[in-house]
Amino acid sequence: MAVSRRALGRGWQTGRRAKAAVGGSRSLVRANPRIQASRWVSGAAGPRECLPGRGRRRCVDTAGKKPIVCGARSRRGSDPPPSSVSVKSVSNVLAQELIEAGVHFGHRASRWNPKMKPYIHGRRNLIHIIDVRETIRGLLRAKKYLKQVSSTGNLILFVGTKRQGTEAVAREAARCGMPYVSDRWLGGTLTNFRTIRNRLARLEELETLIPSDAFGGYSKKMQSSLRREHRKMLRNLGGIRTLSRLPECLVVFDPKKEKNAVNEARKMGITTVALIDTDCDPDLVDLPIPGNDDSIRSIELVAARLADAILEGKSHSATEAQVSAEGAAGGETEGKPKPKARPMVAKRSVPKPKA
């Protein structure tokens, strides 16, 4: 059956070469090098070769040699649309929650970091699609580690100064009783921790001074200056007031924006758990969670899951402490030596005096 020039699309040669190409040859003969052809196997209609032209794709069925018009429009240089992610081997409920929250959406393909290639499933409309299975693996690893850290009583610092995740990070960190930085990362928070502790002492001093009667003795200008200082310190240091020592772990949302925090953590040998997008470097963090770090729902979901793991570790630690305390109390009661019985002393017979 002869194939017309119109069916093959503009810029393709006709004749024997074109017929051989439609008949299933390994490579298509292109007269116009600017036109790119994408080939994939269709499940229902058999093998096809899609020839991009103007408007909609013209797909040629290589088995029946019949031109078929696809529904998708052609785009030069674009990959075929990725198939649906198989979630049979992972938790379907968690995968559905991640997809509904938009965790699988990455950045534009032109802004990607090549080191993120193992975590990318494909590309759709010039946007990278993150593999949800990799997101679940990273999330489960991070939850297991955070549960272990919180069960030993160590501190975990949440860091998320991006506008989309400020409220979610502060809320979830406060819910699990951990310090957080949601407004601005102060340089030296980890590497110059002694100075930060001194500023926290100053914050407590101001909070004690302002409500007192002695505050009324200052001039109005001095009162305004002290109130302004208090507001600024409360905004920058309010989340880390409970940070009495260096944290064991950092939970970072978008390490590209929080690069100063990540660099300080690496310098101090602190483990980092981070939600990374397709434009981040996964080698800078210890436990990466590939996902969308620009969506409010995505950040809320990941932060809530990590906070739940921390609370679970705390409850497990409290249960173990209670059991050990009860065991110690029972051991003391059982191991306490019983008082020895007094020995029976035979009464000596006192001789009666003689008359």
Q: Tell me the pLDDT band of 74, cut-offs 50, 70 and 90.
A: very low
In a domain, 67, yes or no: yes
Nearest to 273 by CA among 237, 310, 244, 240: 310
> Residue 72 above 80 pLDDT?
no
Mean of pLDDT over the chain: 75
129 and 274 together in one domain: yes
> Residue 304 above 90 pLDDT?
yes
Q: Tell me the pLDDT band of 77, cut-offs 50, 70 and 90.
A: very low
In a domain, 305, yes or no: yes
pLDDT digits over 14-49, tens only? 444 443 444 443 333 333 333 333 333 333 334 444
Q: How far apart are CA 103 and CA 277, in angstroms?
A: 9
290 and 264 together in one domain: yes
> Residue 5 above 70 pLDDT?
no
> Residue 235 above 60 pLDDT?
yes
How many domains, in total, are found in the chain? 3
Query: Cβ-count burial of 350 within 10 angstroms (0-12 exposed, 13-18 middle, 19+ buried)?
Result: exposed
pLDDT at position 102: 87
107 and 166 together in one domain: yes
pLDDT at position 319: 78
In a domain, 342, yes or no: no
127-130: strand order across its sheet: 105-108, 127-130, 120-124
Query: Cβ-count burial of 82 within 10 angstroms (0-12 exposed, 13-18 middle, 19+ buried)?
Result: middle
170 and 273 together in one domain: yes
CATH code of the domain in which 220 resides: 1.10.287
Q: Comparing 3 with 226, which gets the higher pLDDT?
A: 226
Domain residue limits at 224: 192-238
143 and 283 together in one domain: yes
> Residue 146 above 60 pLDDT?
yes
69 and 96 together in one domain: no
Tell me, what amino acid is at 118? P
Length of the chain: 355
pLDDT digits over 311-330, tens only? 999 888 777 767 766 666 66
122 and 211 together in one domain: no
8-state DSSP, 336: S
In a domain, 322, yes or no: no
213 and 178 together in one domain: no
Whether the CB-CB separation of 95 and 87 falls below 8 Å is answered with yes
> Residue 191 above 50 pLDDT?
yes
97 and 162 together in one domain: yes
102 and 21 together in one domain: no
pLDDT digits over 151-180, tens only? 998 999 999 999 988 999 999 999 999 999
> Residue 68 above 50 pLDDT?
no
105 and 30 together in one domain: no
- In a 3-state reduction of DSSP, which class is residue 185? coil
Report the pLDDT averaged over residues 229-246.
Answer: 90
164 and 212 together in one domain: no
In a domain, 256, yes or no: yes
Which element (helix H / strand E) includes 67? strand 66-73
Least confident of 85-94, 100-109, 138-147: 85-94
